[in-house]
A and B are shown apart, each in its own frame.
Chain A
């Protein structure tokens, strides 16, 4: 499978956006690279950039490998992507508002009713609840892959609690410390103002009546969560309190936080806890992470939760195939970003096709994430495929399948030197009174040769992503 290389374009020439980087890579002595690599390692370790990997046990502070070679996109490519992302997130928010109110798209038969209403992520409790600015997903992370010079696909939408934005910012910080000259000779669009934009966005969705100085907090499940570092980072950068469920309490439908000097009212909660754990009185009664009475306060309009409860019904993998339809239905526009063709195993015809082509397809669980529990057909043994086939047959509706895409590659530093490795991209979109995105995102890279799985839990690394100014 010939993959498109973002530096050489596959034909050995150097694409213009990479010209300076290529010249610099050719000129830098190997021992300098090795030294910088050690510096980067120390830098990240000292900053405590950590990412606990579920189920691994032992050292919960394994580093996500950081690759020194940046990924470069030119202004034209970014402008097109940005337009497509804004369009997509607008449609997703319109969809969420619709399914929790009139349900027009379901009545029109453009999306199967049962796919939405019987979805595990659909929250009937949200019916008729007013959401500030209609921002159901206030923070969205959309995963993009590329297959050639002009074609980008959306691989998946993350509209619940997407993580990774702290790496986007810290990777840039690291590049500026390690290679200031290289950064300076490119005009790279800055990403460091993301926390300011995030705070502005969160304040713009405060409940009516919160006044012009609303109190924003970040709600974390705690220090043992895999993305805890990011929760800390964002709270710190925004200058707001990082709270756990135990720090909040609800009295008369008003949310307060426990302060050393006495309770203080809270207006906006950027929560990094799943719906089910938010409030033991409304959802899972065994949740020790949430706040009793929080959902009632939310329904009463006294506090904003970002992202909204029930947003997950839009990023479910079974709903994913219908996102282009949402763009057409709500915006009356042609979708700018393409979806990857997807077979839903809940459909008998699709199921038959998938089972006949398992060795060519990528199969995923509908609710899975993090690259766990997926099958990459072309890279699996016959035995693995047969085991997976039995799982699909036992519960077809739980699986979708997509063609194995030839993800683009970027030059990456590996043990043998520079080599092409597959990448994806997660830009972050902020929805408040306005829709914004900072030029960039998190590039994840599959460090093993030939691997298409970029998730950090599966041995993926990250790269700084450079959007060049015109």
Chain B
């Protein structure tokens, strides 16, 4: 497989996963905006979505007021914002278009029709459709894409890079989402452990499709430590950090065997996976959840850089 193809396939699925995660970030914002809050509710509830998405500065540069319409328009539809759902869906499609020989017809058709649909969407039509319905649509298109890839792609090198993009992107997003509570202020300190606190945590759980899993595993009240454990350390939770890292290491070890080379990215991934595997939630909480997650996000950035150096920009003199 061409280096450039590996690059396109990897980014195709990263962008698709990124679009899905953006819908999940917005979903948290939306759910929280329905909860009672003090001060300027629009601001306190929608600002976190901007922060998790890493778009707070770009948004501020526009000089727009933080409210549902402006934030949703910026994060969902604005093509000039490279992180928006529409921009990600466009990038996913463009990456596939650049490598049409590597994706199956079904994958291309799915990405292409997703883009053609969102291309014609504006805020008025989005409101008619309903924000929740729109977020669900984005998630469904992402599920469909993954399902189609899983169901139609040959299990070859291309498939490995497609899967790799999904899990690298997802682990990053889960870490950012989990960090959301750090950025949300409760109306008063007395509200900690109160009803609003509960609803905020459960909104977070629902946004990663983990509410039922939580109930089934813990059969108990929702506590921040357990949520953190579920989303960081539980391998049976499909969006948890460790579940993603298991997938990533399996793929990278597979590539190492296929190409018979020693890669820096494989070492970083294995090390990150071990830390998660032997980590304990008590220690993570003691270290500080926000600090732990920040360190994880940095580590994933280093991993992502190494992947790109190892497979996508190989030196040419090594015949």
Contacts and interface: CB of A to CB of B under 8 A. Distances in A.
A80 interface: no
Contact of B109 (A46, A235, A249, A259): A46
Contacts of A223: 94, 97-98
Contact of B261 (A47, A251, A262, A263): A262
B2 A243 contact: yes
B312 A260 contact: yes
Interface stretch (B3-11, B69-77, B239-247, B277-285): B3-11
A39 to B, nearest CB: 15
Contact of A46 (B100, B112, B258, B312): B112
B314 A262 contact: yes
A247 B97 contact: no
A258 B109 contact: no
Nearest to A229: B100
B265 to A, nearest CB: 12
B311 interface: yes
A244 interface: yes
Nearest to A249: B316
A245 to B, nearest CB: 11
| Most central of A223, A242, A243 by chain B CB within 10 Å | A242
B101 interface: yes
A78 interface: no
B109 A260 contact: no
Interface size class of chain B, counting residues whose CB lies under 8 Å from the partner chain = 20 to 34
Contacts of B109: 46-48
Contacts of B4: 244, 246-247, 258
Interface string B283-319: 0000000000000000000000000000110101111
Interface string A247-270: 101010000111111110000000
Given A244-B4, A260-B1, A261-B261, A46 B314 contact: no
Given A46-B112, A47-B109, A259 B316 contact: no
Contact of A258 (B2, B161, B259): B2
A244 B97 CA distance: 14
B263 to A, nearest CB: 11
A112 to B, nearest CB: 44
Interface of A: 45-48, 223, 232-233, 235-236, 241-244, 246-247, 249, 251, 256-263
Interface of B: 1-6, 94, 97-101, 105, 108-109, 112-113, 116, 157, 161, 255, 258-259, 261, 311-312, 314, 316-319
Given A48-B112, A241-B5, A259-B2, 14 more contacts: A47-B109, A48-B97, A223-B97, A235-B101, A236-B100, A242-B101, A247-B2, A251-B316, A256-B316, A259-B3, A260-B255, A261-B255, A263-B316, A263-B319
